[in-house]
Structure 1
């Protein structure tokens, strides 16, 4: 029998029988067992321990580190957390054993996708990490990798959840990250999807109405009515009918967001924020997944809190009626066909009014600006800036849990800003008033007000090594110190790509909770919007976004850092490092 040059000589049959096993070139372990000769990769696919140091009984090869078990013939594992070990073809020629160094089943993209799905289904972080590393190293696009998680999560009976929001947010952050950050961003998002969706059953879709010959306006009206009376099943049938009717993603977004703004600041802002993320996710996975993705939202519409029913929106100052009157005035102006010129906005004056203790004057100003033709997206951007300023001024003497209050206003306003850049639906401007009043209601969290960093006379602004920022965040509650470092970095002309990458890593190296992911993604997006301008107001707004992001990160670090450690193990295994020798 002729041998090709690539095959590896493993030794004589008699020698191998005497030894029981041998490790040959290429890190392949050869075993003689039950009159057969078998070859597998010597590295346990779980964490890399040498399999030749394990035990072989009844055809099962057991690793002695974590007791992963493998069929020695095929390499298949009995333990879903371990992965299959590559196996190799063996031939005997004239009592000499030869091994083909090419595995029978090579790692390929579909295999990694299958393992990713298994990791999501079983909620096994190491399996998810290995799959992400393999897919990234194979140059699979981020949206395609995230799409596996979005498809899995939106089929879950739990519906759209914080994990899916994290995953979608992290895909948007990835362009600012290096390769390590890319792996961590996808991995963190997918792990949180698994945690929120695994074991929750499957959401089986309802059918559409028998006829789709219904106007958009009527479907939208029916949908609003279903949401008003908390009928999520009727709402689901209408969403599916609208999709089958061929409504565009923009029309679907308007239909669903109108209903989501019929009441004030639903569920502390989460409802609008999640709607925005759902439509961003749909941009990643494509319109063919519209039914599963969009209907995943509806579970949260069954019983959301309505802020106009809460005491602090009605007393000591009634905020509800003035907003309703302002919205009515805008509707009457539209009905009358008022054609106002585009208003020129004094942005600094609007910002200061939003941060004031005069909510009725704020409502009136926003109403008048909209009547004068101000762009809703610009006003939403200013509301978002004001909410970021609340984070910058948040004093560490406050209850630590109150960070989430200012965070909710910021992420809600950011979501509104994103939507109003894509939509001209007049009814969505109602949400500007809701966001502005949430900024007002957060005012007590700026009493006392944290001082914004500023340059001291004669002080050096030499902050250029971003590792210094990470070292600060290795310590607890370095909120003001970290913000000061970033301020100095900006004033010293530090490289912005390096800073954003560092802030991304400051998030992804932690076992961060949901809201911290929201903060970083929203701050990055708003920063980039303000970077489209170079005037003094815009430059300060850029600084505000980065300071808000830094302060929130510093307030929530460090953590145990278990998740990024698992990702690091997966990447090192992929590169062939020998973890067991350390």
Structure 2
């Protein structure tokens, strides 16, 4: 083609006027040219919605309509009338000597990152899955750090959901936590999954209207903590929110903010089957990715789940046949919201260094709630920190999933799952603050482990370290593991393959990436995403776990592998799904690469 400055010849004006339209490629750019109302217009021939050739569309009254999904575009500027379609790129044209010239590489009005950030906001507002997929892929491919869209999604989720923190924002936090353990392409899937789940949570919901902080910044911390707990206790959302926002406005430390929230979240045991404390822990973790400047709205979003929570001390399972609440109250010092008894135990253990005694882990999984409570109380008395105890309890909870009997009702997978993610959240919270109230979370989690005991009857075997060293290539084992998720019911095989992979010297990073890919290609539910993130977290933390004097390398290896076996079994029980979201993601990825979706 002839070249004149930045313009290239495209088609003769006479031919274009006669036909009304032309499809051409200029320097590799597919273009649709139109002669309409005496003007020549050029647009990208690929409909920005799903790539249908716009040269096959209709132009009427200055509007170009795609025939595939009827997206409409203002022909002169390319702007769409339909937010789900995106604007189409237009190109400068000139008529010279009877020929139409086009500049195939005009200066863009704004850089790709800015464009995709705008599209992310539109996708969230309109709950448009394909737009969100394109935007999240486009942002990461433009070199934008995942933290920036994470912050955008977090702000949207807290602003546009009156119900406060929910499953969508928890998914956002979980996947942000796990993003470094994912393959690069799966990081895009993770961000897309988080965006679509937050958008779905907010769709059709009333927006949130903030309560202001108190005018004073001089309220002593202990008093503010009492006020906040009292408001939560009587389910006063407005008062509780003002207390929390006052704490943020007064520049209270992260540890103090955590103490406020986790104290209220443990004033009753196991609120809403553990979701409330898990939401709270994930909110603080999300701020590590989005930045502390988002703390005000993120933490305030926890109020609604707190004040509307179901309280396990009001449930029969915690009262009959053994009154488990009374057992806890005896330790706490009067009622489920007390801490005097715990404070006395902590004082006794001051200066002592606790190590895991022989039989302790077996006690946590046994059938005697009094022995469990006594063992935990003795540990506190001997100097055990809430973090050390939470580590033991979360391992017991992971064991329940790893040994879950498939003869149980399918819904009971979530019974053991809730205990695991609650215990994981307590563990995470204990690493954020040393508030004495976190001991209550440990005791509550241990009681939930006890209540789940019948779901391990009979217990599924956990492959012992070294028992499955088949000498196979670890990559081949991972291929087999991925295939198990294509078949329903391969629960035990999935667990066995994880054990085999580790025994054959496989790289744990590759295991995480494989499980992460298996998760994100599915229409994975909220719980599956939680479960994966918690398992990866516990796997990583096990490396630094101090063993008791009577334990050794095999025990530590067991602590690493148990959560990974547990999550592989949980995922195998819930997969495969229809993979509708993966279809949308694949379409978006192909469109962003410029591939043709429409064949014809």
**TM-score of the aligned structures, taking structure 1 as reference length:** 0.96
Q: How far 1:60 moved relative to its partner? A: 1.3
The aligned residue for residue 200 of structure 1 is 205
The aligned residue for residue 19 of structure 2 is 19
How far apart are the structure 2 equivalents of 1:560 and 1:124? 19
**Which secondary structure does the structure 2 equivalent of 1:381 belong to?**
helix
- Tell me if 1:318 matches 2:323: yes
Q: How far 1:147 moved relative to its partner? A: 1.1
The aligned residue for residue 89 of structure 2 is 86
The aligned residue for residue 263 of structure 2 is 258
Which digits, 9 at most, give the CA deviation of each residue in 1:433-452, with x for residues without a partner?
00000000000101121122
Contact 1:86 1:106 in 2 (8 A): no
Which digits, 9 at most, give the CA deviation of each residue in 1:456-505, with x for residues without a partner?
79966555322221111100010011111111111111222211101001
**Which secondary structure does the structure 1 equivalent of 2:359 belong to?**
helix
- Tell me if 1:375 matches 2:385: yes
Q: How far 1:106 moved relative to its partner? A: 5.1
> Compared with structure 1, are the counterparts of its residues 548 and 62 closer, same or farther at alpha carbon in structure 2 (3 Å cutoff)?
same
Q: How many residues align?
A: 581
How far apart are the structure 2 equivalents of 1:555 and 1:575? 35
Matches within 5 A, 1:497-512: 497-512=509-524
**Which secondary structure does the structure 1 equivalent of 2:411 belong to?**
helix
Q: How far 1:167 moved relative to its partner? A: 1.0
Contact 1:158 1:197 in 2 (8 A): no
How far apart are the structure 1 equivalents of 2:264 and 2:143? 40
Which digits, 9 at most, give the CA deviation of each residue in 1:207-251, with x for residues without a partner?
222322211111111111111111111101111111122212221
How far apart are the structure 2 equivalents of 1:16 and 1:389? 72
**Which secondary structure does the structure 1 equivalent of 2:351 belong to?**
coil
Which piece of structure 1 moves more, 534-543 or 444-453? 534-543
The aligned residue for residue 598 of structure 2 is 580
**Which secondary structure does the structure 1 equivalent of 2:105 belong to?**
coil
The aligned residue for residue 582 of structure 2 is 564
How far apart are the structure 1 equivalents of 2:468 and 2:91? 70
- Tell me if 1:331 matches 2:340: yes
Contact 1:348 1:537 in 2 (8 A): no
The aligned residue for residue 59 of structure 2 is 56
**Which secondary structure does the structure 2 equivalent of 1:389 belong to?**
helix
Q: Decide which of 402, 409, 421 is 1:399's aligned counterpart.
A: 409
Which digits, 9 at most, give the CA deviation of each residue in 1:1-26, with x for residues without a partner?
x9753322113211221232222311
Q: How far 1:297 moved relative to its partner? A: 1.2
Which piece of structure 1 moves more, 196-205 or 516-525? 196-205
The aligned residue for residue 50 of structure 2 is 47
- Tell me if 1:220 matches 2:238: no
How far apart are the structure 2 equivalents of 1:158 and 1:433? 29
Which piece of structure 1 moves more, 15-24 or 54-63? 15-24
C-alpha RMSD of the superposition: 2.0
Contact 2:424 2:534 in 1 (8 A): yes
**Which secondary structure does the structure 2 equivalent of 1:160 belong to?**
coil
Contact 2:467 2:503 in 1 (8 A): no
Contact 2:400 2:449 in 1 (8 A): yes
Q: Decide which of 166, 182, 188 is 1:183's aligned counterpart.
A: 188
How far apart are the structure 1 equivalents of 2:447 and 2:572? 27
Q: Decide which of 438, 454, 475 is 1:464's aligned counterpart.
A: 475
How far apart are the structure 2 equivalents of 1:580 and 1:328? 69
Q: Which runs of 5+ in 2 are unaligned?
A: 546-551
Q: How far 1:305 moved relative to its partner? A: 1.4
The aligned residue for residue 118 of structure 2 is 114
Q: How far 1:63 moved relative to its partner? A: 1.4
Contact 1:341 1:372 in 2 (8 A): no
> Compared with structure 1, are the counterparts of its residues 468 and 333 closer, same or farther at alpha carbon in structure 2 (3 Å cutoff)?
closer
The aligned residue for residue 294 of structure 1 is 299
Q: How far 1:52 moved relative to its partner? A: 0.8
- Tell me if 1:433 matches 2:443: yes
The aligned residue for residue 556 of structure 2 is 538
**TM-score of the aligned structures, taking structure 2 as reference length:** 0.93
Matches within 5 A, 1:337-376: 337-338=347-348, 340-346=350-356, 349-376=359-386
Which digits, 9 at most, give the CA deviation of each residue in 1:81-111, with x for residues without a partner?
1111111111222332221122453552122
The aligned residue for residue 140 of structure 1 is 144
Q: How far 1:334 moved relative to its partner? A: 4.0
Which digits, 9 at most, give the CA deviation of each residue in 1:336-361, with x for residues without a partner?
95453333323662211100001101
Which piece of structure 1 moves more, 374-383 or 549-558? 374-383
Which digits, 9 at most, give the CA deviation of each residue in 1:295-340, with x for residues without a partner?
1111112231111121221221221122122223973574695453
> Compared with structure 1, are the counterparts of its residues 333 and 17 closer, same or farther at alpha carbon in structure 2 (3 Å cutoff)?
closer
**Which secondary structure does the structure 1 equivalent of 2:261 belong to?**
helix
Contact 2:233 2:307 in 1 (8 A): no
Q: How far 1:581 moved relative to its partner? A: 2.1
How far apart are the structure 1 equivalents of 2:364 and 2:88? 60
How far apart are the structure 2 equivalents of 1:279 and 1:457? 39
Q: How far 1:141 moved relative to its partner? A: 1.0
Matches within 5 A, 1:439-478: 439-453=449-463, 463-465=474-476, 466-478=478-490
- Tell me if 1:151 matches 2:155: yes
Contact 1:343 1:369 in 2 (8 A): no
Contact 2:523 2:578 in 1 (8 A): yes
> Compared with structure 1, are the counterparts of its residues 128 and 333 closer, same or farther at alpha carbon in structure 2 (3 Å cutoff)?
closer
Which piece of structure 1 moves more, 405-414 or 60-69? 60-69
Contact 2:11 2:100 in 1 (8 A): yes
> Compared with structure 1, are the counterparts of its residues 486 and 364 closer, same or farther at alpha carbon in structure 2 (3 Å cutoff)?
same
- Tell me if 1:105 matches 2:109: yes
Which digits, 9 at most, give the CA deviation of each residue in 1:178-206, with x for residues without a partner?
11110111101110001101231221111
The aligned residue for residue 420 of structure 1 is 430
Contact 2:153 2:198 in 1 (8 A): yes
- Tell me if 1:7 matches 2:19: no
Contact 2:174 2:282 in 1 (8 A): yes
- Tell me if 1:281 matches 2:286: yes
Which digits, 9 at most, give the CA deviation of each residue in 1:53-72, with x for residues without a partner?
22211111111222211111
Which piece of structure 1 moves more, 270-279 or 236-245? 236-245
Contact 1:464 1:492 in 2 (8 A): no
Contact 1:461 1:491 in 2 (8 A): no
